[in-house]
Amino acid sequence: DGVILEAESHIFYYEVGGLSAIGGLVPITIKGNMGVLDPKDVEATIRPKDIHFPETTVVAIENTHNRAGGTITTPEQIRAISELTKAHGLTLYMDGARIFNAAVALKTDVKNLTKYVDNMMFCLSKGLSCPIGSIVVGDRKFVERARKIRKMLGGGMRQAGVIAAPGIIALEKMVARLEEDHRNARLLAEGLAKIHGICIDMRLVQTNIVKFDVSGLGISSDTFVSMLSERGVLSLPFSKKDIRMVTHRGIEKEHIEKALAMVEDVALKVRSKGKKVD
């Protein structure tokens, strides 16, 4: 079967080809707008039933979208895709690893982001701060099948209570505080935008992920990340020119200010030396 998904979605980009190797799915990718699929593009990509083609059976969306910079697919956008998938008899799946970030940013109940999809997952770790754990959500038949496949793959855990306990705390007490992460991400992004040689698209700063471009400094992201690490600031190269930073519990305003000072120090050092590194 074929699955339609955004070209830089996590399950396509980072999961070692698992959707093909384990799920038997053929990825059919579409470039989204800031990580969001256009229903018109989705409809144009659905392959007709033909002996030569894998049958398109699933559309997968990611909310928030990691590689786009933590961008949100709104309830209205999800509903439009859902109407299309239902019209064509397809399943709509959502990678909702950071779905609570989307809900908090939009100031809406998370149910408004999930009610249009057939099944999904979300993380108890990441912004919700649990040490481990994710939840698969769907109807009873879907969940029972997922549990059996999980067991088949060696993912069963009898002592699951130690995961469930912090998961309950996360859902009851940690959702509202995500707003603090979003404020800190905005503060970080605004500070980065003022540093000469760094480019950032503020439209993408919607939740707790900040993606910025250091190519204007004539340096690779790997080298810039390494120089920041030497100063105690951890970040991730996202491409040859882009870097990702993420705000989370434990990161306060003073940490953002310190990180910005370290970024500016590295940028100044690079500019003063005219350093160009591939």
Residue located via tokens 């339609």: 4
Question: What average pLDDT does this structure show over 72-94?
Answer: 98
Tens of pLDDT, residues 251-262: 999 999 999 999
CA 78: distance to chain centroid?
16
**pLDDT value of position 273:** 81
Q: Give the C-alpha separation, 208 to 206, whole Å.
A: 7
Tens of pLDDT, residues 4-58: 999 999 999 999 999 999 999 999 999 999 999 999 999 999 998 899 999 999 9
Tens of pLDDT, residues 109-153: 999 999 999 999 999 999 999 999 999 999 999 999 999 999 999
Strands (E), the chain: 2-6, 26-30, 56-62, 91-95, 119-123, 134-137, 209-213, 236-237, 242-246
Residue 275: band (very low, low, confident or very high) from pLDDT cuts 50, 70, 90: low
**Residue 276 confidence (pLDDT) above 60:** no
Question: What average pLDDT does this structure show over 223-251?
Answer: 97
CATH architecture of 2-173: 3-Layer(aba) Sandwich (3.40)
**pLDDT value of position 278:** 46
- Of the candidates 72, 78, 70, 65, the one whose C-alpha atom is nearest the C-alpha of residue 114 is 78
CATH architecture of 178-273: Alpha-Beta Complex (3.90)
Q: Give the C-alpha separation, 260 to 190, whole Å.
A: 10
How many Cβ atoms from other residues are within 10 Å of residue 95's Cβ?
24
What is the H or E stretch that residue 168 is in? Answer: helix 161-173
Q: Where in the chain is the domain with CATH 3.40.640.10?
A: 2-173
